[in-house]
Amino acid sequence: MSRIAVGTALVLAMVVGSAWGQPAEVRPASETRTAEADDLALARGLSRAFQRVARTIEPSVVHIVSKQSRPVLERVGWFEVRDTGRRQVVENGMGSGVIVSKDGLILTNNHVVADAEMLDVRLRDGRVLPGKIVGRDPLTDIAVVRVESSELSAVEFGDSDTVEVGEWVVAIGSPFGFENSVTAGIVSAKSRSRVPLRELGEDAYKDFIQTDASINPGNSGGPLLDLDGRLIGINSAIATRAGGSEGIGFAIPANMAKAVMDSIVRNGRVVRGWLGVSFSDLAGGEARSLGLEPNSGVLVRAVEEDSPAKRAGLRAGDVVVRYQNRPMTQLSTLRAAVALTQPGTKVEMQIVREGKPTTINATIGDFEAAQGIAEIPSWGILVRTMPREESRRVRNFDVRGVVVTQVVPDSVAARSGLQTGDIIVLADGKSVSTSEGLRDVAGRSNLARGVALGVIRGNERGTITLRE
């Protein structure tokens, strides 16, 4: 700025000040230098906080490469190729993860490892270790991986329920393969549920933390951290039109990720809680008619007969405002909280009924048992009884059976070719129409001899033999 411009600006400031009956304030140079020094000290302090988080947590962040074995093909004509009988290992995906136990447990996203036959896990010190999938949960997009090592640097869990909008956060991961990249931002919002993600279906549990910390492809599975270096989320997705970061990223809350991990490690799968209630968000008009503020609770639409909610006395029209002393402002938050409560747990809910606050105590049920779901560990599958209204018509015959909802990687079922979505109608020569019936047959079966399963896949019927 020229001297004339500076002088003009000063005169204008004095005139404006006089016009308001106040003299223009001109700070002494010493005060200006002091203010600038204070600003720099504040900025440097925040910078040191980011540096401390990065320095402390980088050894806990890993780079994950997903691999598959594929046949080697060769061209034998203009349009013809043939299988050479050889196979090659190729990379088919990458992402990030975070070490959560010193003996090698790693949290990441399900979509990072879902199609993997092999995993390479690269540590901060340069070591590359083979990773084994302990378990996956497509409904929360969480997966648990293990590497064989000890005395690893593990992250400390924070309480994602206490995270505040506007709070500084740090994201670490491998965007576009650039390992241990650190970005910073703030928590932009909490309890984001209307997030259209192709990795998650309609039944998924969506209760995301939104952040403007830069997250890009490859960051998936990496940690979102507070300024104390505690894990508050697992970075999972971005909203983008161009394919890269546009300032809207989503992380799975750490409390949800830990509950899923603990269930997988304890049970080999996620065991979900069940209340037997149909909920909905509390719309503005409904809230005002009940004397409540919008988004101050979750409305009970219906209660199933012979359910934990019915036995506890919950009624249609009640508004759940707190669950286990946690505020419940959205359906997505309450739905996830119930699902991640272990069956048999006694819970307390604060509700509003006809304008009056009251407390309800319930014992959470088992979702799998309520939905006719059963696990068959010896085969490595999870199955669900197919209700009569879902019965399939195949080749002019109405059939009932048991739907395969999950196949454990590298299990007897997986090696034998059984797939998610297959319908089992016969086992060892016996018709099966319930998950409990199939589990009984499995308990008496001999895998060494082989177990023949009658299977419907699409509109085709066939036989798959399970054998060790």
How many distinct structural domains can be found in the chain?
5
Q: How many CA atoms lie within 13 A of 429 on its CB side?
A: 3
Residues tagged active-site: 111, 141, 220
The amino acid occupying position 132 is: K
CA angle 296, 297, 303 (to 5 degrees): 165
The span from the CA of 141 to the CA of 237, in Å, is 10
Looking at residue 218, the DSSP 8-state letter turns out to be T
The CATH number given to whatever domain includes residue 305 is 2.30.42.10
pLDDT of residue 26: 58
pLDDT of residue 18: 42
Phi-psi region of 119 (alpha: psi -120 to 50; beta: other; left: phi over 0): beta
CA-to-CA distance for 271 and 368, rounded, in angstroms? 7
Q: Is residue 152 part of a domain?
A: no
Identify the domain boundary among 147, 168, 196.
147
Question: For residues 195 and 220, what is the distance between their CA atoms, to the nearest angstrom?
Answer: 16
441 beta partners: none
244 and 261 share a domain?
yes
Chunked into runs of 10 residues, the chain (468 residues) has average pLDDT values of 37 39 58 78 87 92 90 76 80 90 95 89 93 90 93 94 94 84 92 71 82 86 94 85 70 95 90 93 81 86 94 94 92 92 95 92 91 87 81 61 86 90 91 89 90 89 90
Q: Say how far apart CA 8 and CA 14 lie, in whole Å.
A: 10
Domain of residue 117, CATH code:
2.40.10.10
In a shared domain, residues 381 and 349: no
Which runs of E-coded beta strand occur in 46-127? 61-75, 81-99, 105-109, 118-122
Do 82 and 25 lie in one domain? The reply is no
pTM of the entire predicted model: 0.76
Per DSSP bridges, beta strands 156-157 and 230-238 are: parallel
Nearest CA among 229, 247, 259 for reference residue 187: 247
Residue 241, in any domain of the structure:
yes
Residue showing tokens 């010896």: 378
Tell me if 467 sits within 8 A of 412, measured CB to CB: yes
DSSP H or E stretch at residue 411: none
pLDDT of residue 409: 76
Instruction: Name the residue range of residue 121's domain.
Output: 59-147
Contact 146, 105 (CB under 8 A): yes
pLDDT recorded at residue 392: 58
- Two structure tokens written together for 176: 């576009």
The pLDDT score that the predictor gives to residue 257 is 96
Q: What is the CA radius of gyration of the chain?
A: 28
